[in-house]
């Protein structure tokens, strides 16, 4: 979220990255034992763009990548460490939220059951309409 | 006009799922330095809320605050914000004008009794019965009193509303006052700044909308999430300040190297705002990054702090003539004292008058 | 009006006015008194008055060797806090800016971290001076309110300056206001208490030198 102008010449801060990785490791262990999820907001830390890249290089990429098309783009991917996800919200080209989530799956990827309930009604209604049309066509023939 | 649908239902009608609330809430939580885990609760609160009726009153202002909030850098995401509120009255943005506008205001107040938020930008003149700013035939003071009656909360947006701003600056010919002088015991949030950072305005409104209460405020009524630290505390040029590397002017070597702007009048050390972290125009830059010292625009009476280019240690008064006068007065007293001492010496040491011995 | 605006505005104006009026009153008052005349002839080897005065002013910067051991602490500690005060006041960037706004002159500053260290040493040295004053049998006997007030009003700016620079104790603008107000009280008291020695010591030493050397006495 800091512009590159102010970061000119700023070196990567290895201690900051180590600290964040340490926290991720601790939270991941807690999640493995008890299932308790956690979320770390990188925007709230004194993290430069270079630090972010360095952190992502250490975390690597896993098997899943997802894109969300909602009020701008969002990118979600699992890192090389199972249970450690990156969630990044964009608006146009700028990152506006950058999270590390420790969970089975980030909340934003789940479909809400309340949305599903209404979707079920919509699907049912669509099927009924289609059946009615088919019945009418059959009747005409 | 706000209706009875929840925001979730409203968005669903447009084919947008509840994910929208989670994404927006992560954004607000990040802005307001809330723990990321609170995004879920924030999202639920928003999804179940009804469209919030907002009545925006504009008084002695330049419309800069409205310009700021409508130039939000996350247009797609913050468009959501404008969906979450029902802006029932706003001089610049509403379609109708004249009597139809005033009628809209009255109807909104009636339909949302006890639940609408009043946003105010601009100060209110009080001299001569408040005649110096009148809208729709009534004084600003009257309009505020009227509109506040059944409001849930008041948000004073911009330094004019929060502290009096430029109308209140010396000599304050219209008797301008800040909104806080006139709201009585209505819950009040001051979002100061000239103008305020747009995310500060939208973040606070989202918080109030989701949680139904005011965020934590400082002693001047400003949300601590945005006004908890000084510019100086988060300024990227701080290391130069500590090492004593300053720009002496705006085009010298120091300025080119990006040294600290303390000597050219930066008021960063005594100014509380989020400019150094959130920055302006979507995190692009802020005054110091662009080479100009902080004006202190989110602080009370910032127009009367001696001058934007006079460094902080400079006294506010005009010292020269005063000190010259004091020097003359002191010297006069000194001469007077020594004259009286000489006179005393003469009398004391004078030979006794003949015949007295 | 908030505290900082008051401190930087009316408080500083009034304090500086009192300072200027008071110092000039006393200095002009003393210096325009009739000159003390000694009509006796100068003793053999007596230097001219201006030289005698200078000899006294600079000669008295260290104690006579007879009193060196007894006066060691006061001499060294005195220099430590006097030099420390001078460095803090005249070599700190914001102070230089303040003086520049009054006199138009400025000069290079020392790094702020260094000033902080000097300030801390100065504060310690001032506390040592107070303890000495309270425990020395002679000083205890002859010390008056004037001495303690002068000490207090010198100590406060140092300690409030350290607090402001380290942002400890309150919000920064409050600390800054308190520091400036402590200077205001210091300036207002200055002409009327022991602090006037800053201007007077030159003349009193000089006068002593002239009188003694005229009569052939060593100083």
Backbone region of residue A123 per phi and psi (left: phi > 0; alpha: psi in -120 to 50; beta: other values):
alpha
Q: Provide the phi-psi class of A12: left if phi over 0, else alpha when psi is between -120 and 50, else beta.
A: beta
Q: What count of Cα atoms within 13 Å lies in the side-chain half-sphere of residue C62?
A: 5
- CA dist., res. A62 & res. A40, Å (int): 19
* pLDDT class of B1 with cuts at 50, 70, 90: very low
In the CATH hierarchy, which fold is given to the domain comprising B229-319?
A: Cytochrome-c3 Hydrogenase; Chain A, domain 2 (4.10.480)
- Please name the chains neighbouring C, where neighbouring means 3+ C-beta pairs under 8 angstroms: B
First to last CA, chain B: 109
Check if B311 contacts A (Cβ < 8 Å): no
Query: Does B352 score more than 80 pLDDT?
Result: no
Inter-chain residue contact C176 with B270, CB threshold 8 Å: yes
The CATH homologous superfamily to which domain B7-227 belongs is NADH:ubiquinone oxidoreductase-like, 20kDa subunit (3.40.50.700)
Range with the poorest average pLDDT among A87-96, A128-137, B128-137, C23-32: A87-96
Contacts of C156 (CB under 8 A, 6+ apart): C182, C185, C186
The per-residue pLDDT for A75 is 95
Nearest CA in chain B to C184: B315
Which range has the top average pLDDT, B28-37, B65-74, B94-103, B126-135?
B126-135
Query: Lowest-confidence range among B72-81, B106-115, B323-332, B343-352?
Result: B72-81
pLDDT confidence of B98, banded at 50, 70, 90? confident
In this prediction the ipTM stands at 0.84
CATH 3.30.1370.140 fits A4-109, yes or no: yes
Q: How far apart are CA B154 and CA B176, in angstroms?
A: 18
Lowest mean pLDDT among A90-94, B188-192, C98-102, C190-194: A90-94
Integer angstrom CA distances of residue B315 from A59, C7, C96, C177:
54, 9, 13, 12
User: DSSP string covering B220-260, please?
Assistant: TS-BHHHHSSBHHHH-TTHHHHHHT-B-SSSSSHHHHHT-B
Q: What is the pLDDT of residue A46?
A: 74
Contact at CB, B37 and A96, closer than 8 angstroms: no
Mean pLDDT of B227-252: 92
Q: How far is residue A52's CA from residue A34's CA, in Å, rounded to a whole number?
A: 28
Chosen for mutation from A10, A38, A96 (greatest number of chain B CBs closer than 10 Å) is: A96
Each residue's pLDDT, cut to its tens digit, for chain C (219 residues) gives 789 999 999 999 999 999 999 999 999 999 999 887 888 998 988 899 999 999 999 999 999 889 999 899 999 999 999 999 999 999 999 999 999 999 999 999 998 889 999 999 999 999 999 999 999 999 999 999 999 999 999 999 999 999 999 988 899 999 999 999 999 999 999 999 999 999 999 999 999 999 999 998 887
pLDDT at B49: 85
Q: Which residue has the higher pLDDT, B80 or B173?
A: B173
What are the domain boundaries of chain C? 3-30+66-214
Is the pLDDT at A93 greater than 80? The verdict is: no
Q: Does B40 touch chain A (CB under 8 A)?
A: yes
pLDDT at residue B355 tops 60: no
Note the pLDDT of residue A5. Answer: 46
Contacts of B61 (CB under 8 A, 6+ apart): B121, B122, B123, B158, B160, B161, B165
Shortest CA distance from C166: residue in chain B? B242
Partner-chain contact C113 B315, CB within 8 Å: no
Residue B354, pLDDT score? 63
Q: What is the pLDDT of residues B40-85, one digit of tens each?
A: 998 998 888 888 899 999 999 999 999 888 876 665 666 777 788 8
Average pLDDT value for residue range A100-128: 92
pLDDT at B37: 85
Q: What is the model's pLDDT at position B357? A: 47
User: Of B125, B59, B124, B113, which is closest to residue B88 (Cα–Cα)?
Assistant: B113
Nearest CA in chain B to C104: B320
Q: Examine residue B195 and say whether the peptide bond preceding it is cis (omega within 30 degrees of 0).
A: yes
Query: How far is the C-alpha of A35 from the C-alpha of A43, rounded, in Å?
Result: 25
- Give me the residue label for tokens 């006009």: B1
Which residue of chain C comes nearest to B335, CA vs CA? C29
A33–chain B Cβ distance below 8 A for any pair = no
C-alpha–C-alpha distance, residues C147 and C134, integer Å? 11
**Domain range summary for chain B, segments of one domain joined by +:** 7-227, 229-319
By the 10 Å C-beta count (0-12 exposed, 13-18 middle, 19+ buried), C107 is classed as exposed
Whether the predicted pLDDT of B293 surpasses 70: yes
Whether residues B306 and C8 touch (CB distance < 8 A) is answered with yes
Q: What is the mean pLDDT of residues B206-228?
A: 91
Residue A8's pLDDT is what?
Answer: 53
Is the CB of residue B157 less than 8 Å from the CB of residue B223? no
Interface of C with B (CB under 8 A): 1-2, 4-5, 8-10, 12-13, 16-17, 20-30, 32-34, 93-95, 97-98, 101-102, 109-113, 172-173, 176
The CATH architecture one would assign to domain C3-30+66-214 is Up-down Bundle (1.20)
């Amino acid at each position: 979220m800091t512009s590159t102008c102010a970061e000119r010449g700023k070196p990567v801060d290895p201690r900051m990255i180590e600290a964040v990785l340490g926290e991720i490791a601790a939270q991941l262990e807690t999640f493995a034992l008890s299932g308790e999820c956690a979320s770390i907001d990188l925007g709230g830390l004194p993290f430069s763009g270079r630090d972010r890249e360095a952190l992502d290089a250490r975390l690597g990429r896993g098997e899943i990548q997802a894109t969300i098309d909602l009020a701008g783009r969002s990118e979600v991917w699992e890192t090389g460490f199972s249970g450690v996800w990156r969630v990044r919200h964009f608006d146009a080209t700028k990152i506006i939220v950058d999270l590390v989530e420790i969970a089975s799956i980030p909340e934003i990827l789940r479909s809400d059951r309340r949305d599903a309930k209404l979707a079920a009604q919509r699907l049912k209604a669509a099927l009924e309409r289609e059946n009615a049309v088919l019945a009418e066509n059959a009747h005409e023939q | 006009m706000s209706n009875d649908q929840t925001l979730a239902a409203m968005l669903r009608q447009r084919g947008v799922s509840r994910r929208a609330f989670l994404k927006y809430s992560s954004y607000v939580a990040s802005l307001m330095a809330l723990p990321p885990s609170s995004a879920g609760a924030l999202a639920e609160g928003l999804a179940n809320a009804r469209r919030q009726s907002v009545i925006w009153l504009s008084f002695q202002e330049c419309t800069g605050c409205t310009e700021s909030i409508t130039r939000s850098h996350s247009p797609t995401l913050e468009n959501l914000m404008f969906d979450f509120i029902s802006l029932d009255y706003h001089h610049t943005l509403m379609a109708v004008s004249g009597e139809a506008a005033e009628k809209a205001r009255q109807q909104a107040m009636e339909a949302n009794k006890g639940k609408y938020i009043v946003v105010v930008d601009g100060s209110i003149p009080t001299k001569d019965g408040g005649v110096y700013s009148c809208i729709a035939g009534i004084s600003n003071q009257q309009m505020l009193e009227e509109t506040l009656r059944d409001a849930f909360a008041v948000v004073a947006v911009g330094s004019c509303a929060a502290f009096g701003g430029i109308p209140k600056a010396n000599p304050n010919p219209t008797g301008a006052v800040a909104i806080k002088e006139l709201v009585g015991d209505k819950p009040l949030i001051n979002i100061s700044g000239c103008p305020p950072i747009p995310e500060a305005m939208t973040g606070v409104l989202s918080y109030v909308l989701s949680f139904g209460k005011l965020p934590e405020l400082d002693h001047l009524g400003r949300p601590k999430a945005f006004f908890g630290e000084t510019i100086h505390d988060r300024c990227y040029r701080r290391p130069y300040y500590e090492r004593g590397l300053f720009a002496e002017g705006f085009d010298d070597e120091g300025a080119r190297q990006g040294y600290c702007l303390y000597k050219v009048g930066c008021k960063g050390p005594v100014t509380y705002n989020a400019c150094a972290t959130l920055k302006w125009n979507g995190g692009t830059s802020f005054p110091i990054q662009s080479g100009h010292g902080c004006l202190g625009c989110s602080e009370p009476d910032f127009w009367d702090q001696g001058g934007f280019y006079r460094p902080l240690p400079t006294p506010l008064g005009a010292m020269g003539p005063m000190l010259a006068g004091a020097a003359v007065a002191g010297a006069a007293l000194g001469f007077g004292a020594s004259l009286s001492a000489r006179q005393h010496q003469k009398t004391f040491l004078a030979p006794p008058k003949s015949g007295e011995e | 009006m908030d505290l900082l605006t008051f401190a930087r505005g009316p408080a500083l104006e009034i304090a500086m006015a009192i300072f200027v009026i008071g110092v000039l009153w006393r200095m002009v008052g003393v210096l325009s008194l009739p000159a003390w005349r000694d009509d006796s002839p100068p003793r053999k080897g007596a230097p001219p008055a201006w030289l005698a005065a200078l000899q006294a002013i600079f000669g008295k910067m260290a104690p006579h060797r007879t009193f060196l051991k007894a006066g060691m602490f006061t001499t060294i500690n005195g220099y430590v806090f006097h030099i420390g005060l001078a460095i803090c006041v005249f070599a700190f960037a914001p102070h230089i800016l303040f003086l520049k706004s009054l006199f138009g002159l400025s000069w290079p500053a020392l790094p702020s971290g260094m000033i902080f260290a000097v300030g801390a040493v100065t504060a310690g040295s001032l506390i040592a001076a107070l303890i000495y004053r309270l425990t020395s049998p002679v000083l205890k006997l002859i010390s008056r309110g004037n001495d303690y007030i002068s000490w207090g009003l010198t100590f406060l700016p140092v300690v409030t300056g350290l607090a402001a620079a380290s942002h400890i104790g309150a919000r920064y603008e409050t600390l800054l206001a308190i520091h400036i107000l402590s200077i205001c009280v210091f300036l207002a008291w200055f002409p009327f208490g022991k602090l006037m020695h800053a201007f007077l010591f030159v003349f009193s030493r000089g006068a002593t030198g002239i009188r003694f050397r005229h009569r052939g006495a060593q100083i």
